Structure 1
């Protein structure tokens, strides 16, 4: 199905001034709302402006670099300082403190009230979409920075210079927005790319789970299940390819068209030899988190784990998520065996050797999600890749986590986990081993971590998850050296998972995480514009 929203956004960008710029700079001082907000068609045009950049696309791909599962080498991209704990208010840190999208949504919600619609349900559906977008923006800022100003309307820059609301106040604002939006929305999108009830419920679910409001999270997840629209895709690997974009598992994704509204960020993920920058890469920590194919962790007796061949006999999702040394790969130069371990190959310098070039993966690993197969793209710098914002597996895992925290262990939790595991051929949960709430919590966290790896949720999870002492998990897994494996690749070995022979590790970087790193620093530029803002502690 052609994506209507993509073509409308592309059309806006072809005009001299983009819809985004128009909505940010013009309504209050150039064109009167009385002349630009008169018909349903006018509202539809401004609705498209609220969608332009609504989802956190860069974060979906980059956020794991701020966790133990990912690494960003290029400091100017803004994520390396998040991962190693060297953030300040003025250095290179990815920025989420922005009210431009909220301003667009505010303008829309103010002006649509004056338009008569032939069908009130259509008007309400549009309002519900914009309220969801606004709630998503506030959720991102509130989670990342703590409390931020709640600004529903302002005419001048001076009026926006207000102090921060508390985190609790912003959370409640987000909840209220979603509680109002959800009944307004259609059950299914009116066209591909538009927000429907499932997206608002998924945001409600994620926010509630992050804030520890487990009953609310469980109820939202159950409401998505009850819609009967979404289901697990039979192929996990298919979800992250062009062929899988219409999967019933996908609740919301960022829309693109390779010719009119392309996604160039995919190219930055590829390794050096394939023309990429290795901007965001997975780590060995992620590989080590996967269970063995028999359902045991690599540390358990009888697991069959071999440290010299760490990629062998693992959860099938590992090879669907990570491009590892020794695997078969069809890239820029055609069919080959991926080698990121040897400095030279057949006497020539290896462009993918971690120390060879800035654009070589420093962890010796590359993401497979969205990148495999390489041949699906005609031009990796102009793709139709659609990064997933919400998908049904997250719903099942969120319900399982909330249910376990409320009532676990329970048959519901085991059943949901088995659905996710069985999809990729992993065995059922061993109920004799995971027989109490604490043990089941450990499994749920691991299952969520590997299922959603590379999808921008790992840092948020290790911040919200606590150990038995109440300390953030991030304080353990993000303090200390980040390492990669070293060794050699034997191309004559027929088993791809055993071609790499690992002999040790090498340092990628030293990392630190202080308790105040729970929040990012508010950018100094934002404080300069609004002197009423108070910086987060520690920065």
Structure 2
């Protein structure tokens, strides 16, 4: 009923503002809203559902690592290629986060709910806190990516709405103040999956503080989530990213999709060509190279590493995260086959998954396993009930570890947080001697965060906020240069799936040359928004 109620209310609003659609179609004056009469608690709840609409987007979460060194998008019209190759501009922004529609809905809700009487005042406070969390998250998101955006009000005219950008610090303070005020009013448990509760409010506080290097605040928020005793690591890492794992108590918040009602079609775009997919979102060799060997050493340090067989003896999360050549795979016909993304031909026939063949084949020779395996969990890969994760408990442990290390250096609390994550997948505990300084432990935490959360949309923000020893953004190092794939062949006579792919050491095939300039720290504000509001100033470099 909530979904239906929102649709009916939205239709009524749309009908009432048809004559001024151009007026509302602008940014930031797409924040404008008509006066609406609210009469009941039911009206308020219906409009709150509207605030959730498009607040989070599963497509964006799954595509977002393509803007980093560990992901690749092959099709420019899908709007993520330019984020990876540095060709962003004011007229070619690619996928954009500059959008005030959700904030407008939240402002409208918060203005109108003042006059609505609830039978239980705590219910009203919780509903208000949910909407304020959504608004705070949107401001945090835009502020991080653009470096200051207008903090908008409800306006009566287009001229009033032509407001300048607030500074990054002003928006950050607004977000912090909002979160500190609303979190106490949130319930411990959400009314239903996908709704905001206290864990989500604290997770937004944690992530925003970590992204802005306010480590004490990030640590406090992470500890508060840990002390709730509501969330924990799921013993089955792989299952987290399947339909079966959607209700795991590791998940703090995920975007909700329902097969045959509001399905997530991007899952189909992620499968490789032979499985009827497009290979739109694929992992890269850079990610593969980050996985430790199963002895806890990097591939550069371990005697276990053989460049001829790079998939052998790796951190188990490699196989849990990506699909690689040589492994057994249940294809779209539900047949078990040997996955081959290396050979141009198989038994004399063209290989549908050969990277240099059709455009829908993965150009990196790799695909994601997260959300894709097993394939038979979906009746239709273009209409799925997959629910991409926004926040989960592993991120809490990693955020705590990073913040505590930056504040105080190595400690048992940091090691124990990392060990929980590593032991869960069968990796050895952290070598305290090897990673005994703030600097060496920082290196491990960054690698662990990348490996654990790969494919979940957080890597680009991390390489923008992390600095190297010279104070430069890590993105300046990892996002400049050639993106390449491995080459080799699949040996069908080999029984060991980790040795079936025989790689030519040091021989790579170029995919694209990537570029990242310091000014790419912030995204360009769309030129169309500046044209409508001349008081908006473009970010430097665009």
Scaled to the shorter chain, the TM-score interval is: over 0.9
Corresponding residue for 1:522?
Answer: 525
Distance change in 2, residues 1:495/1:21 (3 Å) = farther
Question: 1:34-433 residue pairs with structure 2 within 5 A?
Answer: 34=37, 37-91=38-92, 93-300=94-301, 302-333=302-333, 334-433=335-434
SS in 2 for 1:496: coil
CA contact (8 A) 1:12 1:19 kept: no
Residue 10 to residue 350, structure 1, CA distance change in 2 (3 Å): farther
Task: Determine the C-alpha separation between the residues in 2 that align with 1:305 and 1:323.
Answer: 19
Change (3 A) 1:21 1:97: farther
Q: State the shift of 1:17 in Å.
A: 5.4
Q: Provide the residue aligned with 2:471 in structure 1.
A: 470
Q: Quote the offset at 1:152 in angstroms.
A: 3.0
SS at match of 2:115: coil
Q: Which whole-Å CA distance do the structure 2 matches of 1:32 and 1:59 have between them?
A: 32
Work out whether residues 24 and 104 of structure 1, in 8 Å CA contact, stay in contact via their aligned partners in 2.
Answer: no
Measure how far apart 1:157 and its partner are: 2.9
- TM-fit CA distance, 1:144: 0.8
Deviations 1:180-207 (A, max 9, x none): 1101100111222211000010011000
Q: Which runs of 5+ in 1 are unaligned?
A: 1-6
Q: Do the aligned residues in 2 keep the contact of 1:405 with 1:437 (CA within 8 Å)?
A: yes
Q: 1:9 aligns with which of 3, 8, 16?
A: 3
Whether 2:537 is the aligned partner of 1:534: answer yes
Shift of 1:12: 4.4
Please, which runs of 5 or more residues in structure 2 have no aligned partner? 25-31
Q: 1:100 to 1:304 in 2, by over 3 A?
A: same
Question: How many Å apart are 1:307 and its aligned residue?
Answer: 0.5
Give, in angstroms, the shift of residue 110 of structure 1. 0.3
**CA shift at 1:9, angstroms?**
3.2
Check conservation: 2:343, 2:354, Cα contact below 8 A: yes
- Quote the offset at 1:283 in angstroms: 0.1
TM-score, with structure 1 as normaliser: 0.95
1:74 & 1:536 partners in 2: Cα distance?
26
Matches of 2:418 and 2:203, distance apart in 1 = 18
3-state SS of the aligned residue for 1:509? strand
Shift of 1:384: 0.3
Q: Would the aligned equivalents of 1:75 and 1:92 in 2 still touch at CA under 8 Å?
A: no
Judged with a 3 Å threshold, the aligned counterparts in structure 2 of structure 1 residues 368 and 178 are, in CA distance, closer, same or farther, namely same
Cα 1:57–1:18, aligned 2, differ >3 Å: closer, same or farther? Answer: farther
How far apart are 1:23 and its partner, in Å?
A: 10
Partner of 2:511: 508
Q: What number of residue pairs does the alignment pair up?
A: 529
Question: How far does the alpha carbon of each residue in 1:134-191 deviate from its partner, in whole angstroms, 9 at most, with x for none?
Answer: 0111111111111000003223333221111101111111111111110110011122
Q: What is the rounded CA distance, in whole Å, between the counterparts of 2:113 and 2:390 in structure 1?
A: 27
| 8 Å CA contact retained: 1:293, 1:315 | yes
Q: Compute the RMSD of aligned alpha carbons.
A: 1.9
Between the aligned partners of 1:20 and 1:340, the Cα distance in structure 2 is: 51
Cα distance, 1:96 vs structure 2? 1.0
State how far apart, in whole Å, the 2-side matches of 1:343 and 1:520 are: 39
Task: Tell me the alpha carbon deviations over residues 104-147 of structure 1, each in whole angstroms, 9 at most, x when there is no partner.
Answer: 00000000011111111000000000000001111111111110
